[in-house]
A and B are shown apart, each in its own frame.
Chain A
Amino acid sequence: MAEYDERARRLTLKLVYYGPAASGKTTNLMRLHDALRPELKGEIMTLETHNDRTLFFDLLPLGFRAPSGLLIKFKLFTVPGQVAHDGTRKAVLSRADGVVFVADSQRAQAVNNGASFDNLADNAARVGLDFDTLPLVVQFNKRDLPDILTTEEIAGRWAGAPWPMKLASALTGHGVIDTFAALLATLYARVAPTYGLDTEHGLGERDFVTAALGRPS
């Protein structure tokens, strides 16, 4: 849950990139780090990897100051995708304010996507997140690869799902900012009333998204 520190005048929002193993969660974070130009941007902290697989998490800190002077701080995390690391995944997902589900578009990965999405729903319930109101964006990554699900197939399979759906090729950066922007928009709708972002801090939705993205290059 968002952490509001009155004394430090800081609102921290935790965003988690979830999804099956090797679907491109860390790549999403790396592209965001390269492309975003917010007022404040930290380095990616990669805690530990094994054969290029995330073992704990990656963390990208971003932030900007609202007109009121309130520091809006984003902490973007990735979870380890491997099935075995479910305990870590749950711990990282705890207290999340928003989630990007990074699915692998390759046909062979359809089952893994489904299992991971179910795991997300289960774990969200376990760590006390309301899955129905949790800001969530689904990204179909790896659009640059052959033998992937077509846009029509994806639309057919996810018809009726309430979440924004984005296509991306994180390796080239395509769709990565678009996905993040979509999450920021739903996130704003969810947290703005609680913390008076619009009323007390003079921060509308458009400004919120633009400031977080900076001037993307």
Chain B
Amino acid sequence: MKLPDGALAGTPLPHESFDREWALAELLGADEQADLAQRLGSLIGAPVALVAGTDAPAADDRHAAALKLDIEPLGWLSGQRAHADALDAAAALVRHILMARQRYKMASALHIESVHADYVALIDKHHALEASEARYRALAAELEARVAEQVQLIETRQRQLYQAERLASIGQLAAGMAHEINNPVGFVRSNLNSARSYVNQLAGALQAAEQGDAEAWHKIDARFVLEDFSALLTDCIDGIDRVAAIVRDLKGFSNVDRDEVGEIDFHASLGELCRLLKPRLPGGARLKVTGEAAHRLPCRPGHLHQALFNVLDNAIRAIAPGGSIMIRCSLAGGRQRVEIADDGCGIAPAALPRVFDPFFTTREVGHGIGLGLTLARDVILAQGGQIRLDSRPGEGTRVYIELPLEIVG
């Protein structure tokens, strides 16, 4: 904002300075001078004249009384020499009038100068404030840009962490799955080996029979071979189906290509997850889903599966052989509630307040980077849900999760 330039605020010209030499005409106007001279003339009884200037008017027959305000005359009162005393007295009177005028004029000129000085000081202050404001604006803009940059960096890092976590848990799952896949692969191969020997036997018997050996089929017990062959193939198909089911579950869990919001069958997802995790349970341990789970739940499927996996993974690591993990579901108030309770080792009270903190882990190096529950909480909060955790050492841990059935906003 620019302040308007007022007439009073202009720089005083030299001739307006309060401390300048004042001329008679400035202190008394021409009319006033004439009026004063006439009245003084009446009093004295002879004409008098007011004359400006520092030097006395030269005239032999006249008396000039100096009008001196400081050390120099600024004018003269001149009249007939005969009236010298009266002229001197009149000059003293005029001097008083001039002094009063000069004081008034000086005060007013000084006032204008000081108002100008104050105004200039204000303008300076105003400019300084404007400059300072501009600096702060620039600083604020710069900070905003930096914050945006940092936020973007954090978001990128977070996405990378999600991805890394997911890949890590897929790796862990894969290790468990290997056994589950190896088992059917093993017996399918063994069955196929047997089948191949059956085929050889049947081929040999066929050749013998064609050459007239009436006992050929009997010799190899063809009826049993065919029955067993059929059973072997049925077993093989079952085994392949199991492998296919594992692969399907794993693919459903990983959902690598599904970061966008979608709708899942939560009931089916929990089943998938349990089947995937079962191989990793300690011996004799139970993992069970009870209660009511929604068939339509809006979420980011990849993220939600990851969150549930992380919570269940903790439970599996906490329980001992023969332990149990219960997943209790319920629907209430438009929300899906899930309680995941284990009877494992529990969490020490000192560690409890920090379980959701990033990079907080009680596990040994190489067994977790401390992001599991952090990610679970981020995912669940991001879709408007809640997560909390209760635990007592030696008694187990309960994780309570609530998810809205409709995504708001």
**B interface, size bucket:** 20 to 34
A45 to B115, CA, bound (A): 22
Q: A62 interface residue, CB < 8 Å from B?
A: yes
Chain A-chain B contacts (Cβ-Cβ < 8 Å), number: 75
B17 lies within 8 A of A61 (CB): no
B117 lies within 8 A of A87 (CB): yes
Q: B113 interface residue, CB < 8 Å from A?
A: yes
A77 to B113, CA, bound (A): 15
Residues of chain B within 8 A (CB-CB) of A48 are: 107
A59 to B21, CA, bound (A): 13
A47 lies within 8 A of B115 (CB): no
B70 lies within 8 A of A61 (CB): yes
B113 lies within 8 A of A94 (CB): yes
Residues of chain A within 8 A (CB-CB) of B116 are: 87, 91
Q: B357 interface residue, CB < 8 Å from A?
A: no
Residues of chain B within 8 A (CB-CB) of A42 are: 68-71
Q: B390 interface residue, CB < 8 Å from A?
A: no
Q: A63 interface residue, CB < 8 Å from B?
A: yes
Interface, chain B (partner A; CB < 8 A): 17-21, 54, 68-72, 99, 102-103, 106-107, 110, 113-118, 120-121
- Checking A14, A40, A92, A94 against B71 with a beta-carbon cut-off of 8 angstroms, the contacting residue is A40
Q: A8 interface residue, CB < 8 Å from B?
A: yes
B17 lies within 8 A of A12 (CB): no
Give A6 Cβ to nearest chain B Cβ, in Å: 14
A window 35-90: CB within 8 A of B:
40-42, 45, 47-48, 56-57, 59, 61-63, 71, 73, 75, 77, 85-88, 90
A127 to B118, CA, bound (A): 12
A97 to B107, CA, bound (A): 21
With A42-B71, A63-B71 as contacts: A91 and B107 at CB distance below 8 Å: no
Among residues of A, the one whose C-beta sits closest to the C-beta of B99 is A45
Residues of chain B within 8 A (CB-CB) of A88 are: 110, 114, 117
A window 1-37: CB within 8 A of B:
3, 5, 8, 10, 12, 14
Closest 9 CB pairs of A and B: A87-B114, A61-B70, A91-B113, A40-B71, A87-B118, A42-B70, A90-B117, A88-B114, A91-B114
Among residues of B, the one whose C-beta sits closest to the C-beta of A14 is B19
A59 to B107, CA, bound (A): 12
A47 to B17, CA, bound (A): 16
Give B196 Cβ to nearest chain A Cβ, in Å: 107
Q: A126 interface residue, CB < 8 Å from B?
A: yes
Q: A166 interface residue, CB < 8 Å from B?
A: no
Give B364 Cβ to nearest chain A Cβ, in Å: 67
B121 lies within 8 A of A57 (CB): no
A12 lies within 8 A of B21 (CB): yes
Among residues of B, the one whose C-beta sits closest to the C-beta of A75 is B19
A126 lies within 8 A of B113 (CB): no
A41 lies within 8 A of B71 (CB): yes
B118 lies within 8 A of A47 (CB): no
Residues of chain A within 8 A (CB-CB) of B107 are: 47-48, 56
A85 to B114, CA, bound (A): 9
Chain A CB count within 10 A is highest, among B70, B103, B106, B107, for B70
What would 28 A/B residue contacts be, using CB atoms closer than 8 Å? A10-B21, A10-B72, A12-B21, A42-B70, A45-B99, A45-B103, A47-B106, A47-B110, A56-B106, A59-B19, A59-B70, A61-B70, A62-B71, A75-B19, A85-B114, A86-B121, A88-B110, A90-B114, A90-B117, A90-B121, A91-B18, A91-B113, A91-B114, A91-B116, A92-B110, A95-B17, A95-B19, A126-B120
